[in-house]
């Protein structure tokens, strides 16, 4: 395991659903010698989609990690004195919007990203979401335009879309030779030569040939553009470029491109067809050449939990151990597996780590290098690597693990709140306990999945990011945990909010023989500033009108009360409370009295502060033939949708709209009917907005009924 970190690459593969991520990963495993047979997604036989549900539906649901080695550089397929063994940790992420959490947490621990686009469909809605996530985490990336063998494929048009729609500097570093059924190779614009793959032996071998005559002019033009972009980034090359652009060497172009990729100033674009075994080896070479190794990233910054000071950990074995747990999975054979990225130091199997969230030390009984759902036990793991460990009693996604003597807290991860819920109950009495345990395990694995008991009806309500998400959860309950459940109708996860400021005095008195209860508080309740979550609490009491020891109880009362909104019992996400005055009784006042006064005051003041019901709004994109567009827009208007934009994409019309989730159940079926099955749609959560009063009244009546 002791390797030179310079030759390690921690990369992810991300894209919109159906762009070919899993097929590309399967080819990588084949070319790197990990698997000797190629698994196909459409045959339900891919290595990375190991869950039964993934094989059946042909989609990726959980991100799978794998490890492989790639020899680079090879000259004409042969090793040279410079050839090194590069170690790859690869995470194949899902493309479906309901599983964005898997992409989010993977990007948090990766150094680089291969971003796939379909050569036919170009930039799709989920591409935009994942691209934004990668921007948030500042992950350098390479674009791979896949499916070049498909009818309607256009590499340069997709590069232009990446430039325009994703506002990024996409620069082609190859040019395709032939397209659609005739796609057979690429022109390498840096080396100024062409590569044509052999159709037999799965494209493992290829010929290096001169650039075809009919492409020479276009290749020269694109190469000049590439040199220009690289020179604009690197000042030293700019001088050379001004004097004589032919004097810039191949090595200089590679070095400047690498620096520009790490800086996210240039996104190199390559193309291929993973299904037809073309272009994947070139992509692996580009990963080695341009994407960062753990040593290229400077130290990771965290905070000292004891002092709050900033501390850094370098990607070095000599630094104290620090790692981030980014995913928890339950394996039927080894139990609870915690996937983690080691940022510094070394961890031996059988040793102890400190969990900085719980403050407890935990013994790591075994460490594994992952290959999809199979594990290879290893003795230790070092800085820069990704692995999985067994032995944790208490671990959550986003926990920082560190050496006992050197605590550090790394920035955790933020996950979106669930927007849709369903009530579930076990089919048999015997399954009641089993259901609770199984749901707890699933909630531990997936931070966007929550379980709660509805106080009014006593029902168990499970909530997630969409109908497919909850479908898969119910399916997993049945298969993995052998629990059969009855499920109710989907329910929207509403929230409540206040829209105005209100002053209120709450006096809580109770006298029942012996010691009574007394608390008196005067406060202002108002909406929190935009972007602020939770309760913002401030006390401006002068003198001892409310003793200091009771103020935290008032804050606690408001915090607790926010879990049940005043209108229909839905959670309130944010508000500000300023405690201004009050009084107390030397004998009858205690902490509980002030907590109860705050809870009662919240209910009374919220109405004066104009409490409203907030509903989740979704971003919808519909791809439809032109003749069905009128019907589809009309249908969206009926569903209270707001159409923002209409444009063209590969011969079809694209309609973008913001729609309330409550109106969208069963939408896919009506869309099929309206378009005779020709239109498709994707939907993702956008924001919460105030519900119109007639619908809010209905929601409140249903909650009370």
Is pLDDT of 151 > 80? yes
Asked if 209 and 278 sit in the same domain, the reply is: yes
Residue 304 counted as domain residue = no
Distances in Å between the Cα of 340 and the Cα atoms of 113, 298, 369, 456 are 18, 19, 11, 40
Range of lowest pLDDT (76-85, 144-153, 289-298, 351-360) = 76-85
Q: Which domain holds residue 584?
A: 496-609
Range of lowest pLDDT (27-31, 519-523, 556-560, 623-627) = 27-31
Residue whose token pair is 């012996």:
514
CB-based contact 472:61 (threshold 8 Å): yes
CATH number at residue 671: 3.30.70.240
Q: How confident is the model at residue 374 (pLDDT cuts 50, 70, 90)?
A: low
Residue 553 counted as domain residue = yes
Residue 114 counted as domain residue = yes
Is pLDDT of 473 > 80? yes
Asked if 180 and 56 sit in the same domain, the reply is: yes
Q: Which of 365, 381, 410 delimits the end of a domain? A: 410
Average pLDDT over residues 259-279: 91
Instruction: Please tell me the predicted confidence (pLDDT) of residue 478.
Output: 87
Asked if 390 and 535 sit in the same domain, the reply is: no
Distances in Å between the Cα of 3 and the Cα atoms of 65, 153, 380, 638 are 19, 41, 12, 61
Asked if 510 and 439 sit in the same domain, the reply is: no
* Report for 381-385, 515-519, 638-642, 701-705: range of highest mean pLDDT: 638-642
Asked if 161 and 22 sit in the same domain, the reply is: yes
CATH number at residue 398: 2.40.30.10
Three-class secondary structure of residue 424 per DSSP: strand
Q: How confident is the model at residue 503 (pLDDT cuts 50, 70, 90)?
A: very high
CB-based contact 561:603 (threshold 8 Å): yes
% the chain with pLDDT above 90: 31
Give CA–CA dist 313/302, Å, rounded. Answer: 8
Is pLDDT of 52 > 80? no
CATH number at residue 203: 3.40.50.300
Residue 635 counted as domain residue = yes
Q: Considering its fold, how many domains does the chain have in total?
A: 5
Asked if 367 and 322 sit in the same domain, the reply is: yes
Instruction: Tell me how many degrees the CA angle 335-113-36 measures, rounded to the nearest 5.
Output: 65
Instruction: Please tell me the predicted confidence (pLDDT) of residue 372.
Output: 56
User: Sign of the CA dihedral 318, 322, 327, 328?
Assistant: positive
Residue 153 counted as domain residue = yes
Is pLDDT of 69 > 50? yes
Residue 94 counted as domain residue = yes
Asked if 582 and 639 sit in the same domain, the reply is: no
- Helix 629-638 and helix 667-675, axial crossing angle in degrees, nearest 10: 150
Asked if 275 and 365 sit in the same domain, the reply is: no
CATH number at residue 588: 3.30.230.10
The three-state (H, E, C) secondary structure of 646-676, written as one string:
EEEECCEEEEEEEEEHHHCCCHHHHHHHHHC
Distances in Å between the Cα of 199 and the Cα atoms of 20, 33, 185, 207, 293 are 20, 19, 11, 11, 33
Q: What ranges make up the beta strands (E) of 263-410?
A: 267-271, 300-303, 310-313, 322-331, 335-344, 346-348, 352-355, 360-363, 366-371, 374-378, 380-382, 386-390, 400-402, 409-410
Average pLDDT over residues 651-671: 89
Residue 181 counted as domain residue = yes
Is pLDDT of 355 > 80? yes
CB-based contact 98:656 (threshold 8 Å): no
CB-based contact 190:266 (threshold 8 Å): no
Q: Which of 358, 383, 410 delimits the end of a domain? A: 410
Q: Indicate the average pLDDT of the chain.
A: 85
Strand ranges across the sheet with 193-197: 174-177, 185-188, 193-197, 206-209
CB-based contact 610:500 (threshold 8 Å): yes
The continuous run of DSSP H or E covering 239 comes out as: helix 235-243
Is pLDDT of 59 > 70? no
Q: Which of 560, 581, 609 delimits the end of a domain? A: 609
Give CA–CA dist 625/679, Å, rounded. Answer: 7
Asked if 92 and 121 sit in the same domain, the reply is: yes
Range of lowest pLDDT (117-126, 389-398, 455-464) = 455-464
Give CA–CA dist 432/445, Å, rounded. Answer: 21
Instruction: Please tell me the predicted confidence (pLDDT) of residue 44.
Output: 44
Residue 415 counted as domain residue = no
Q: How confident is the model at residue 41 (pLDDT cuts 50, 70, 90)?
A: very low
Asked if 35 and 119 sit in the same domain, the reply is: yes
CB-based contact 330:441 (threshold 8 Å): yes
Asked if 231 and 330 sit in the same domain, the reply is: no
Asked if 619 and 518 sit in the same domain, the reply is: no
CATH number at residue 449: 3.30.70.870
């Amino acid at each position: 395991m002791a390797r030179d970190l310079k030759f390690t690459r921690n990369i992810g593969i991300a894209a919109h659903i159906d762009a070919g991520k899993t097929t590309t990963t399967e080819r990588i495993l084949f070319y790197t010698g990990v698997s000797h047979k190629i698994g196909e997604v459409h045959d339900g036989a891919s290595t990375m989609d190991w869950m039964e549900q993934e094989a059946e539906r042909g989609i990726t649901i959980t991100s799978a990690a794998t490890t492989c080695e790639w020899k680079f550089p090879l000259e004409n397929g042969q090793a040279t004195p410079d050839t090194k063994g590069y170690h790859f940790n690869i995470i194949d992420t899902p493309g479906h919007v309901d599983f964005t959490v898997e992409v989010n947490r993977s990007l948090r621990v990766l150094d680089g990203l291969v971003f796939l686009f379909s050569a036919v469909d170009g930039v799709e809605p989920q591409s935009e979401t994942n691209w934004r996530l990668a921007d948030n985490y500042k992950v350098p990336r390479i674009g791979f335009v896949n499916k070049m063998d498909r009818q309607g494929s256009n590499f340069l048009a997709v590069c232009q879309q990446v430039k325009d729609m994703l506002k990024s500097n996409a620069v082609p570093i190859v040019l395709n030779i032939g397209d659609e059924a005739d796609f057979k190779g690429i022109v390498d614009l840096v080396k100024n030569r062409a590569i044509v793959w052999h159709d037999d032996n799965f494209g493992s071998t290829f010929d290096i040939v001169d650039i075809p005559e009919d492409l020479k002019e276009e290749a020269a033009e694109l190469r000049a553009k590439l040199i220009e972009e690289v020179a604009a980034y690197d000042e030293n090359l700019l001088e050379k470029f001004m004097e004589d652009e032919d004097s810039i060497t191949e090595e200089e172009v590679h070095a400047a491109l690498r620096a520009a990729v790490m800086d996210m100033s240039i996104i190199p674009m390559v193309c291929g067809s993973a299904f037809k075994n073309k272009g994947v080896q070139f992509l692996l070479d580009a990963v080695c050449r341009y994407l960062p190794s753990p040593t290229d990233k400077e130290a990771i910054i965290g905070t000292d939990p004891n002092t709050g000071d900033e501390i850094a950990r370098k990607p070095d074995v000599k630094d104290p151990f620090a790692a981030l747990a980014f995913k928890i999975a339950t394996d039927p054979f080894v139990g609870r597996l915690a996937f983690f990225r080691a940022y510094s130091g070394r961890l031996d199997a059988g040793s102890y780590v400190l969990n900085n969230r719980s403050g407890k030390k935990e013994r790591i009984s075994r460490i594994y290098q992952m290959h999809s759902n199979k594990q290879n036990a290893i003795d230790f793991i070092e800085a820069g690597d990704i692995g999985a460990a067994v032995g944790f009693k208490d671990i959550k996604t986003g926990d920082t693990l560190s050496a006992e003597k050197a605590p550090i807290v790394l920035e955790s991860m933020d996950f979106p709140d669930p927007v849709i819920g369903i009530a579930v109950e076990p089919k048999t009495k015997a399954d009641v306990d089993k259901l609770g345990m199984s749901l707890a395990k699933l909630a531990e694995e997936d931070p966007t999945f929550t379980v709660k008991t509805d106080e009014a009806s006593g029902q168990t309500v499970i909530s997630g990011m969409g109908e497919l998400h909850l479908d898969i959860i119910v399916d997993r309950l049945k298969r993995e945990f052998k629990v059969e459940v009855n499920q109710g109708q989907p329910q929207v996860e509403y929230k409540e909010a206040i829209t105005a400021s209100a002053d209120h005095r709450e006096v809580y008195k109770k006298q029942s023989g012996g010691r009574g209860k007394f608390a008196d508080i005067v406060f202002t309740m108002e909406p929190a500033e935009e972007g602020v979550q939770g309760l913002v609490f401030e006390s401006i009491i002068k003198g001892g009108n409310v003793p200091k020891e009771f103020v935290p109880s008032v804050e606690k009362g408001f915090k607790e009360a926010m879990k049940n909104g005043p209108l229909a019992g839905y959670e309130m996400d944010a508000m500000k409370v300023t405690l201004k005055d009050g009084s107390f009784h030397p004998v009858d006042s205690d902490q509980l009295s002030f907590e109860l006064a705050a809870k009662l005051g919240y209910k009374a003041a919220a109405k004066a502060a104009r409490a409203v019901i907030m509903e989740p709004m979704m971003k919808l994109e519909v791809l439809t033939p032109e003749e069905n567009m009128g019907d589809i827009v009309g249908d969206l208007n009926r569903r209270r949708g707001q159409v923002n934009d209409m444009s063209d994409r590969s011969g079809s019309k694209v309609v973008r709209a913001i729609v309330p989730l409550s109106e969208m159940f069963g939408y896919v079926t009506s869309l099929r009917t309206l378009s005779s099955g020709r239109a498709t749609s994707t939907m993702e959560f956008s924001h919460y907005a105030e519900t119109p009063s007639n619908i809010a009244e209905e929601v409140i009546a249903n909650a009370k009924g």
